[in-house]
Structure 1
């Protein structure tokens, strides 16, 4: 990535759309409050009620009478392109909605997030998780320190049975330490949000997906599911004389190439008509996909 591209300043659109009651910190960052409806109290009601008793006729969780909660996140207002993980993006909120909606399915699964950034999606998983939540990102720009701080800041919101681990995982690195290998190997649910913003990063991300799912070893990874949330970002280009979503299109090109190459990798687009638990504007351009072998 060129120097000028790295220095391009970007800011998440969600800050202008929703009041997150942000306040300045002494570190020059913002501390924002992300309000949500807790669908169930750490999923414990699942143990005392049948699934049908909390699902309506359309198959959605009944969220009435649920208590509200708040996830507090320290983040940047704007960053250069190489440090967008220090912000909160819309895909992370969609992914957090999806996790809460499926808490009864995922509560006993080991969840690992790729590119956790400031940690909102992982912390949402921690609300209901009864096992491991593994947060990963690059060790750059203080991201891991902010991630650790945000996890500690929200311990009172999360299930006390959730075990959080924060580890470095750089898509560009091909050699992983043993503890990271073991964490990836043990994870059942892999999640990622808004990691598609640069073609070079996309190339490395797709290689990381291939490695995690290990598409050549079906027996080893048949219980792994990878969920990716992202937002199509449209730009007008003279080359196309049209408005296109180049980062999304390049990602799909890479994934489709991988599918053709292996035949084992499968992709499924997940409907995003599930309930919205967090306060934000859910864009029609949001995409949620599932990859598995």
Structure 2
């Protein structure tokens, strides 16, 4: 049990993969999230000729390419209560980071807004190839916004010098937004979120936030936004149904369908057979959903 008798939860990834973690003086953990740096591609997805030539010698024999590896360092908590799970790293953030690296040429000039960014790993991954703004948002609770800022600074060398990574508060349960946040939402083309579907009350606020962002009549905006949501279906056996269900995921789908009564939005799965760049166990329950008007 944690503080105030709240149940402590721990992300599964810490026991599945060695992230060369170490404790800091203030009790947090620094982990090293290693990834393979993507091979350079042209706009049409083909490997550039210069790269092809670099792995073939003068006699036309193939030279085995040594892939460049990099590391994102993240300060996080090893375990928290349910209210502060954003201070941990979860598998969905790594899947979404893989997706962003694989689609870097599509997103490099897009303004990206992350909802519930947690400790900032996914936004930092987006910043590696970005040439514009990335805005990390989360609730201002447990010092999480300061942790995001610290992690962005910790990985500054990886972030493209044309990218601007900003940190702002966005609480799913609050309808009042700062002028800076409104401007960031208006400017954004790509909205991303990972691991925010784990509690029904949070899901309610998340869907209401999406409704506001995608409502073309709110904030006087146009239909130019696409949302990518990474999550892990967590199955449990329920006595009520006498079956194994993923209740949080099912509730999310229910709320999306309810919202369709007022907003004509579309929800579809994203194919996740793209390469895995980060080191983690990509479970079959991991999915990415695409939401747009």
Moved more, 196-205 or 208-217: 208-217
Q: How many residues align?
A: 276
Select the structure of larger CA radius of gyration: 2
* Alpha-carbon distance change, 219 to 54 in structure 1, aligned in 2, over 3 angstroms: farther
2:133–2:166: 8 Å Cα contact kept in structure 1?
Answer: yes
The residue that corresponds to 2:137 in the other structure is 136
Map 1:4-23 to 2 at 5 A: 7-23=6-22
SS in 2 for 1:71: strand
1:288 aligns with 2:283: no
Cα displacement (A) at 1:51: 2.6
Moved more, 187-196 or 4-13: 4-13
The residue that corresponds to 1:256 in the other structure is 257
Map 1:221-232 to 2 at 5 A: 221-232=222-233
Where do 4+ consecutive residues of structure 1 move more than 4 Å?
Answer: 3-6, 215-219
Cα displacement (A) at 1:217: 6.7
What's the Cα RMSD here? 2.0
1:215–1:264: 8 Å Cα contact kept in structure 2?
Answer: no
Counterparts of 2:254 and 2:128, CA distance in 1: 35
Counterparts of 1:215 and 1:288, CA distance in 2: 24
1:216–1:262: 8 Å Cα contact kept in structure 2?
Answer: no
Map 1:229-244 to 2 at 5 A: 229-244=230-245
SS in 1 for 2:221: helix
1:270–1:289: 8 Å Cα contact kept in structure 2?
Answer: yes
The residue that corresponds to 1:53 in the other structure is 46
* Alpha-carbon distance change, 199 to 70 in structure 1, aligned in 2, over 3 angstroms: same
The residue that corresponds to 2:193 in the other structure is 192
Cα displacement (A) at 1:227: 0.3
Counterparts of 1:134 and 1:232, CA distance in 2: 26
Map 1:8-87 to 2 at 5 A: 8-40=7-39, 45=40, 49=42, 51-54=44-47, 65-87=66-88
The residue that corresponds to 2:54 in the other structure is none
The residue that corresponds to 2:52 in the other structure is none
Using the size of structure 1 for normalisation, the TM-score is 0.90
* Alpha-carbon distance change, 50 to 163 in structure 1, aligned in 2, over 3 angstroms: closer
1:187–1:224: 8 Å Cα contact kept in structure 2?
Answer: yes
1:119–1:147: 8 Å Cα contact kept in structure 2?
Answer: yes
Counterparts of 2:182 and 2:32, CA distance in 1: 34
1:178 aligns with 2:171: no
2:215–2:263: 8 Å Cα contact kept in structure 1?
Answer: no
1:113 aligns with 2:114: yes
SS in 2 for 1:172: coil
The residue that corresponds to 1:265 in the other structure is 265
**Structure 1 residues not aligned, in runs of 5+:** 56-63
Counterparts of 2:201 and 2:177, CA distance in 1: 20
SS in 1 for 2:141: coil
Cα displacement (A) at 1:223: 1.4
Per-residue CA deviation, residues 47-82 of structure 1 (Å, 9 max, x unaligned), is xx4534329xxxxxxxx6542110000011100000
Cα displacement (A) at 1:146: 0.5
Using the size of structure 2 for normalisation, the TM-score is 0.90
* Alpha-carbon distance change, 5 to 121 in structure 1, aligned in 2, over 3 angstroms: farther
Cα displacement (A) at 1:258: 1.4
